[in-house]
Structure 1
Amino acid sequence: MLLVGFENALTALVAGTASVCLALALMRLWDRLRGGRRGALGHDRLQPGLQPMIFLFRRQRLVDVTAPGRTLLDRVAAPDDEWGRLQRWIGPRFELAGERLDQLARQGRVELVGRHGIGSAALRLLAEDLGDDLIRITLTDPEAEQAGIVVDSMAQQAMEEELDLLRRALDQTPMLVWRQDAEDRVTWANAAYLRRAETLDDGSGGWPLPRLLDTPKPVPGAGTTTRRAPLDSNGVISWYDCHSHRMGDETMMFALPADAAVRAERSLREFVQTLTKTFADLPIGLAIFDRQRNLQLFNPALIDLTGLPTGFLTARPTLFDLLDKLRELRMVPEPKDYRSWRQQMSNLESAAATGHHVETWSLPGGQTYRVTGRPHPDGAVAFLFEDITSEISLTRKFRAELQLGAHVLDGLDDALAVFGPDGKVLVRNRAYLALWGDGAETLGAALAAWQDRAAPGPGFAALRARLTGHDEARRDSGAMAGPDGRLLRWSVTGLGGGRQMLRLSTPDIAADTGPERDDYASAMGAG
C-alpha cells in the first residue's frame, strides 16, 4: 500500500511539473507571438510612416502645406514667393519639370519620377488639378515608404550641423559655384550664382537657371581645366577665372572673381604700350637683353642708327651676334684684329652688366656714337646708341674758335686781362704774363702782385679804384709805373655782366700831349 501511494504521488508530481512547464512554454510562445505582432504592427505606431510633402496652390499662391513641405520651403533660398522656391527645388531633381507642370491645366494630372544620381533621391512628384484654380503637388520617396528606418539622433545631429556648415560656406563665398549635367544644363548653384542669375533675369528666378559664363570644357584625364571668362551685367563687365572639374556625368564649376587681376594686367599692358610708344619716338637707339643676353626689346631708332635688318632683330639675336652684325656693317670702331675687338666687346658687356658704362665710338664713316650700357633687374642689360656726331662737330668747332681767339690775343703787344664779376681772372694773354709774370687767379691777388712789383702812385690808386669800383669818379684810362720803373698806360673797358677788361701798354711819351702827358709825368714823378 505504501508503495502504491508513493507511485501515485510521484505520478502526480511529474504531471504537475509537466503541466507547469507546458504552461510556461505556452505563455512564452504567446508572448513571442504577441511581441512579433507588436513589432510588426506597433512599430508603425511608435515610428509613424514618413509623412509626404503636400503643397496646395491657388493661382501659384500657397494655400496650405504639410509640415515637411513647410520645412522644405524654408530651406530654399530666394525668390520670396513659395511657388518660385518650389520650382527652384524640384527643377534640378525632375527632368523637364517646368514644361510638364505647364501642361497640368490641359492634362489634369502629371506624375514625374526624380533622377537617380549623386545627391538625388528617388523622388516621385504628383501634380493634380483640383479645379477652381487649385493645384495639389505631392512629393514622396518610394524607397523610404514603410521602411521604418531608425536613425541615431547624435549622428543625425552631427550630419545636420556639418551639412549646415557646408551650405553656409558655399552660400557666403564670393565665388560662383554651380553644377552642370552632360547637356550643360545648370542642376545646382550656390547663393552667389543665384543672386547674379536673378540680376540678369529680372528677379524671375525661374528654372532652369541660365548659364552665366562661357566655361571651359573639362579635358578627360586632365583634372581641372581653367579659363577666364567675362560676365556682362547691364553693360558692366566682370571677369572670372573659371575652373571645371568632372564628377561622373556632371561637372562642377567654380568661378573666382578676377577683376583685380584683369585691372592689374590692363594697367601693366597700358604701361608697356606707353613705354613702347615713348621708345618709338626716342632718337636714341635702345636694345635690352635678358640675363641670357638675348635681345628682348628694341626701338625703331636702333634700326635707323645702325642699319640692322628688322628681321634680324625680331629673331632675338644674342648680344654678341648683334655686335658681329654691326662689325659686318662697319658700324663699330675699326679694330686692329678680331681677337682684340672681341675682347673689347666682352669688356663692354661685363662693364655694362656691373654698372653704368659709357664709350665713344668713332666709326669709319665719320660718325661718332655714344654707347651707354646700364644694368637692369634680374641680370638684364640695356644698351643705348646715340649719334653725337653733330655734338662732337660743334664742340670741335667751338674749341677751334677758342683756340683762334687765344692765338689772336697772344699776338697782341698790349697786355690784356679780363676779370669776372666775382673778381676771378677769366682771360689773360701772353703779353700780360710776360709783363707781370704772376699766376694770380683773382683780382685781389693781381692787385697785390702789382703793388709789390710797381711803385705805388696816383695812377695805380686810380686803377685800383676803377677795378674795385670804390671811386665814384672812376677814370677809364690812366698811367702808372710798371715793373722796373717802366711807364704803363692802362685802360679799363666794361664787357657787360659785371666783367671788366684791363689793357696795359707802353706809351710813346714824345707823341703824347695834353692831359695824358701830365698823367705820365705825374706817374713817373711818383715813381
Structure 2
Amino acid sequence: MVFDPLLAGGLVVTGVFSACLGLLCLTVLQKDKRPGAGSIFLEKGNGAEFIFDGKILIDATPAGRSLLPKTCQNGAAVWPGLLSYLEQRFDGVAERFETLQTDGVLMMSSAEGQESQPLMLRAELRGGVTRVSILDADAPKSAQGLDPLTRRAIRDELAQLRSITAKAPLPIWRMAANGDVIWANARYLDLVAEKLGDEEDLTWPLPKLFATPNDTTQATRREKLARGADQKDNWFDIVQFGDETGQEAYALPADSTVKAEEGLRAFMQTLTKTFAYLSTGLAIFDQDRKLVLFNPALIDLTGLSPDLLTKRPTLTMFFDAMRENSMIPEPRDYKRWRNQITDIEEAAASGHYEETWSLSSGQTYRVIGRPHPNGALALSFEDISNEMSQTRRYRADLELGQAVVDAVDASIAVFSAAGVLVMSNAAYSVLWGHDPAASIGNEGSISAVCNYWREATAPTTIWDKVEDFAAQIGPRELWDGKVRLSDGRLVYCRFAPLAGGATMATFQYCGSGSEDNDLPYTGDSKMVG
C-alpha cells in the first residue's frame, strides 16, 4: 500500500475541523439552555403538554398548567382535572385513554360544533410514561404573548361569565366613582327599557333605576321600584360593594318578603283588635321573656301604666310592678317568692301553670300560663271575683239549708230525679245508725239505700214500692206507711214527690202508747190525701 501524504493531511484537517465544530455547537446549546429550569420541557411548545407516570403528574408546560384549576396543579389530583377539561371537548376521551395500554398512541380531534377552532389531542405511552399533548390545529406558533391554549381558556371563561351575568334573574350593575352607571346586565337593561317612552332611547351613562345613597358604606338597603300604572311595583334589597374606583350593586327581589311582612302586620293588627275586646288580660312574652303584646284589659286588671308596658319590661319587672300595685298575693317572704318566678316561667312554658290569686282588695284572679311557638310565653289574667262570690254564696246557702234540715226532729233523706241520695240530716243518721255518704258507697243510689233499710227492718214490701216510686215518671202522689226496726221500734214513713222529679223520704218514731206497738207490722201502707 502506497502512503499518500496529501490524503493523510486532509484527514487530519477534517478531524480537527469536526472537533471544533462540535465544541462550537455544544457552546451554543449551553447558552440557549434556560437557567434554573426544573422542567424537562426546554422551550414553549405550540400547546399544552403533560407527562404522567401512571396517573401521577411528573411535569407540564406553563400552557398546560394554565388549563388546570388552581386546586389541582400537582400530584394525583391533576389527572381528574385534566380529564374534566378533555371530556368537555373530546367525546369519549376517557374510554380512549383506557385503550392506550394496548395501542400505545392516541390521536383525537375536538368535537364538531363545540370549538370555533379545532383542537388536537395526542397521547403516547412509552416505558410506563404517558405524554399528553393538546395542540391548536389552526393557530400559528407565537413567539410573544400568551400561547393559543391560554388565550382559548381566557376566552372560554369570559364567555361563561358573560352568559352567567346575562341570564341572571336579578339586576346587576356597576357604578363609577362619581355614581354614573357604566355597566349593567340584561335584567337591569330590561327594567330600564320598561321605564323609557316609545320614542326614547338608552343614553350613556345608563339611567339610574335606584337612588345612590349618600353613605356609600351602607351595604344593604331596601327600595321600591315604581313600574308604571299598569304594572305592580317591585321591592328590592340592594346589596352594594365598592372601593375608590367604583361600586358594584345587586338588586335582590324582595316582593315575597315585603308581602309576608305586610301579612304579619295585618295579622298582628287583627289580633290586637280582637284582644282589645276581651275582658281577660293578656300578656305575651317572647323567648327573651320581654313583653311584646298586651291588650287594654291587662291595664284595667293590673293597674299598670301603658308607658311601662310599652317599654317591653321583662317578666321579673312585670311582676315587680304588679306587686307595687298590690295586684299579687302578698307573700311572707317576697325574695323567696320572686325566686319562684323562675318556677312559674318553667311551669307556664310546659303548659301546667294555673293559680287563683286572692288579693288584699277582695278581688280574685285566675292566672293561667301557656307556652307559645318559638319559646314565647302567654299569661292570662281573669277577674273571677263575681264567680267566686256566687260560689261562696251558693256554698253558704247549702250550709244554711243543711243546718235548717239538721234542726228538724224528723229524719229526712232526699233523692234526686236519677235516684241518687243528695241530702240527709242528723236525725236520719241517729235513726238509721249510719252516714249515707260513708256507709252506703259513693253512688248513694236509692237501690243501695233501700237494701240497707231492708236489712235494718222486718220484712215488708214498702221498700220495693219506694224504688218504684222514685223511678216513676210523671205526676206522683204523696203516700206513707209503717215499718218495724230490728229492735222492735215502729217507724212512721212518709214519701213525697218534689219538684224536678226528686223524692223526699221522712221517718219518725211512732208514739209509745200506740196499739200498733204491741202488734207485728204487716207492711201495709196507705195514701195520704
Q: Residue 494 of structure 2 is aligned with which of 490, 493, 511?
A: 490
Q: Encode CA deviations 1:258-300: one digit per residue, 9 max, x unaligned.
A: 1122122222222333333333333233344556655444433
* Distance of 1:390 and 1:474 partners within structure 2: 39
Assess if the C-alpha contact under 8 Å between 2:483 and 2:521 holds in 1: no
Which residues in structure 2 correspond to 1:307-318 (within 5 Å)? 307-318=303-314
- Aligned counterpart, 1:177: 172
* Distance of 1:307 and 1:365 partners within structure 2: 13
* Distance of 1:193 and 1:252 partners within structure 2: 13
Whichever residue aligns with residue 360 of structure 2, its letter is P
Assess if the C-alpha contact under 8 Å between 2:495 and 2:506 holds in 1: yes
- Aligned counterpart, 2:523: 523
Shift of the 288–150 alpha-carbon distance from structure 1 to 2, 3 Å rule, reads closer
Q: Encode CA deviations 1:456-496: one digit per residue, 9 max, x unaligned.
A: 334344333323449x9986413141424414232241532
TM-score normalized with structure 1 length: 0.59
Whichever residue aligns with residue 178 of structure 1, its letter is W
Q: 2:314 aligned with 1:342, yes or no?
A: no
Which residues in structure 2 correspond to 1:21-60 (within 5 Å)? none
1:387, distance to aligned residue in structure 2 (A): 2.2
* Distance of 1:241 and 1:293 partners within structure 2: 31
Q: Residue 392 of structure 1 is aligned with which of 374, 379, 388?
A: 388
Which residues in structure 2 correspond to 1:115-514 (within 5 Å)? 152-182=147-177, 184-201=179-196, 206-208=201-203, 211=207, 213-217=209-213, 219=215, 222=217, 225-233=219-227, 234-246=230-242, 248-289=244-285, 294-336=290-332, 340-355=333-348, 356-374=352-370, 381-438=377-434, 439-440=439-440, 441-469=444-472, 476-484=478-486, 485=488, 486-496=490-500, 498-506=501-509
* Distance of 2:198 and 2:502 partners within structure 1: 87
Whichever residue aligns with residue 154 of structure 1, its letter is L
Assess if the C-alpha contact under 8 Å between 1:245 and 1:253 holds in 2: yes
1:510, distance to aligned residue in structure 2 (A): 10
* Distance of 1:204 and 1:501 partners within structure 2: 103
Higher helix share: 1
Assess if the C-alpha contact under 8 Å between 2:181 and 2:208 holds in 1: no
Whichever residue aligns with residue 337 of structure 2, its letter is Q
Assess if the C-alpha contact under 8 Å between 2:459 and 2:523 holds in 1: no
RMSD of the TM alignment (CA)?
3.8
Q: Encode CA deviations 1:485-527: one digit per residue, 9 max, x unaligned.
A: 414232241532x543334445679999xxxxxxx975369xx
Shift of the 168–353 alpha-carbon distance from structure 1 to 2, 3 Å rule, reads same
Assess if the C-alpha contact under 8 Å between 1:245 and 1:251 holds in 2: yes
Shift of the 360–461 alpha-carbon distance from structure 1 to 2, 3 Å rule, reads closer
Whichever residue aligns with residue 164 of structure 1, its letter is A
Shift of the 228–324 alpha-carbon distance from structure 1 to 2, 3 Å rule, reads closer
1:335, distance to aligned residue in structure 2 (A): 4.4
Assess if the C-alpha contact under 8 Å between 2:491 and 2:507 holds in 1: no
Shift of the 252–478 alpha-carbon distance from structure 1 to 2, 3 Å rule, reads same
Shift of the 446–191 alpha-carbon distance from structure 1 to 2, 3 Å rule, reads same
1:326, distance to aligned residue in structure 2 (A): 3.5
Assess if the C-alpha contact under 8 Å between 2:414 and 2:503 holds in 1: yes
* Distance of 1:509 and 1:469 partners within structure 2: 35
Stretch deviating more after TM superposition (235-244 or 350-359)? 350-359
* Distance of 1:373 and 1:345 partners within structure 2: 17
1:212, distance to aligned residue in structure 2 (A): 6.1
* Distance of 1:204 and 1:185 partners within structure 2: 23
Q: Encode CA deviations 1:157-201: one digit per residue, 9 max, x unaligned.
A: 333322221122112211111233455443332222222333333
1:228, distance to aligned residue in structure 2 (A): 0.9
1:257, distance to aligned residue in structure 2 (A): 0.8
Assess if the C-alpha contact under 8 Å between 1:186 and 1:208 holds in 2: no
- Aligned counterpart, 1:70: none
Q: Encode CA deviations 1:272-331: one digit per residue, 9 max, x unaligned.
A: 333333333332333445566554444332322232333333344444444444344333
Quick one: percent identity of the two aligned structures? 36
* Distance of 2:449 and 2:417 partners within structure 1: 15
Stretch deviating more after TM superposition (228-237 or 205-214)? 205-214
1:378, distance to aligned residue in structure 2 (A): 6.3
TM-score normalized with structure 2 length: 0.59
Whichever residue aligns with residue 350 of structure 1, its letter is D
Assess if the C-alpha contact under 8 Å between 1:494 and 1:501 holds in 2: yes
Q: Encode CA deviations 1:384-427: one digit per residue, 9 max, x unaligned.
A: 33322222211111111111222222223333333344433222
